[in-house]
Amino acid sequence: MTRSLLQAVRPLAAAFLAVALGATGLSPVAAADAGPSPIALRSVTAQPAVPGVDADIRLLHHTMPGVGGRPVPATTLLLTPKGEPPAGGWPIVAWEHGTTTPGQKTCAPSQTPELDGGLTRDGFKSDYSWQIGRFIGAGYAVVAPDLEGLGPDATTPYPYYSLSSLARSLIAGVMAARAAEPRLSDRWAAVGHSDGGHGVLGVEALAGEATGLAFAGTVASAPYVAIEAHAARFGADGKAAPNEAAAHQGLMMQQFQGALMATGLTVTQPSFDEAAIMGSDLAATLPRFRSLCSVAAIGTIDAAVKTKGKAFEGLKADWASQPQMHAFLAANDPAVTPGYTLRQPALIVQGKADPFVLETLQTQFADKLKAGGAPLTYKVYDGADHFSVIRRADADVLDFLRQQFAR
């Protein structure tokens, strides 16, 4: 981010003052003053109330730096507490959602009443809107991007698992929010769950792109890391399972990891040949897999594995060693990225009973970070699973944010 970006954003902030103070209806503003900046606020749309979230809610239509190197359309929810802000403005919690889809743009937080891209609707009670309500109640503004390639304005594919894209979705959302709402603080923290937890682990390295803002720290809930290790563990558990149902579950979850990674890699490298890492049965599921929200997408692989059983032609044994996939994981999975570390305060929270992101692998990742000197607090919650960890860790998350914003 350069000085020219600030010069572009500040005029837009003034133009949106009426919206920030409660003007009604659509409030489109031309981005002519934004010049070539990759981040430009285009318009603001009032959003309906969300049960349990006592906030003013707006949808920001803006641009962000895309993985292809050019600005792309993006949308971000901005939720602000009602009433007047504290001195210095509302501190910003930049919040990133987990996997809502491998590639269907309508499976985005802004497009669903629970702010979770359809997870609750489809059977996974996410508690995302509950957590956002807790942040609002604590006096924070929440910036929640749909992510690059998701949401109503998206015109490019969703680059699933791209760490830089996930980080820049948050950064662009925060910059757009500051343009739309001058009553925001210049202090912000990143909070994410699952793949969003993975995404916020990439923010610190790029936080300097949010010119003029002070990054306070990171909270990652069940961050989705150690992909190759997860696939191997699920596969081994399936082979050692005591019954057919457990064996099927392990095999299906192993294939799910590879399908997600192949989807993300193909967006950034269209020349990638999926046959290099998988057999024909898994490859045949991918077109439909990518067109669905998460629960239905998992169901597509589940049904295909059930049909073929042990004869299912899926991930190859050395799938993660294929050169393009190996480079993709090394660049985007903090658990295997050479030299990856954190230098600012971070909190990772993990449920011990999580069936998707395994506690043992998360603990190995956290131990590696701490051994390297990262200022990390790591907490494990007995009995908590992938989603219930959000409520179980609530007090610890709020306490961590309070401490960082007080520094």
Q: What is the pLDDT of residue 34?
A: 32
Same domain? For 145 and 68 the reply is yes
Residue at a domain's end among 332, 360, 387: 332
Q: pLDDT tens across 94-146, in order?
A: 999 999 999 999 999 999 999 999 999 999 999 999 999 999 999 999 999 99
Closest CA to 174 of 30, 77, 37: 77
Q: What is the pLDDT of residue 9?
A: 35
**What is the pLDDT averaged over residues 339-343?**
97
Q: What is the pLDDT of residue 20?
A: 30
Bridge partners (DSSP) of residue 80 are 56
**What is the pLDDT averaged over residues 174-183?**
98
Q: What is the dihedral of CA 395, 193, 402, 94, to 10 degrees?
A: -150
The Cα 243–Cα 239 span in angstroms is: 10
pTM beyond cutoff 0.75: yes
Same domain? For 118 and 62 the reply is yes
Closest CA to 219 of 407, 406, 393, 392: 393
Percent of the chain with pLDDT over 70: 91
Residues 257-279 as b or e (16 or more Cβ within 10 Å = b): bbbbbbbbbbbbeeebebeebbb
Flag whether pLDDT at 392 surpasses 90: yes
Task: State the total domains in the chain.
Answer: 2
Domain hosting 277: range is: 228-332
Tokens of 196: 């969003």
Flag whether pLDDT at 14 surpasses 60: no
Q: pLDDT tens across 343-384, in order?
A: 999 999 999 999 999 999 999 999 999 999 999 999 999 999
Q: ∠281-283-288 over CA atoms, to 5°? A: 105
Bridge partners (DSSP) of residue 189 are 93, 217
Q: pLDDT tens across 230-264, in order?
A: 999 999 999 999 999 999 999 999 999 999 999 99
Q: Considering just the CA atoms, what is the radius of gyration of the chain in Å?
A: 21
Same domain? For 274 and 377 the reply is no
Residue at a domain's end among 314, 332, 350: 332
Residue at a domain's end among 332, 360, 395: 332
Mean pLDDT of the chain: 91
pLDDT band for position 310 (cuts 50, 70, 90): confident
Same domain? For 39 and 93 the reply is yes
Bridge partners (DSSP) of residue 190 are 94, 218
* Residue 242 near residue 250, CB atoms below 8 Å: no
Q: pLDDT tens across 184-215, in order?
A: 999 999 999 999 999 999 999 999 999 999 99
Beta strands 41-46 and 55-65, pairing class: antiparallel
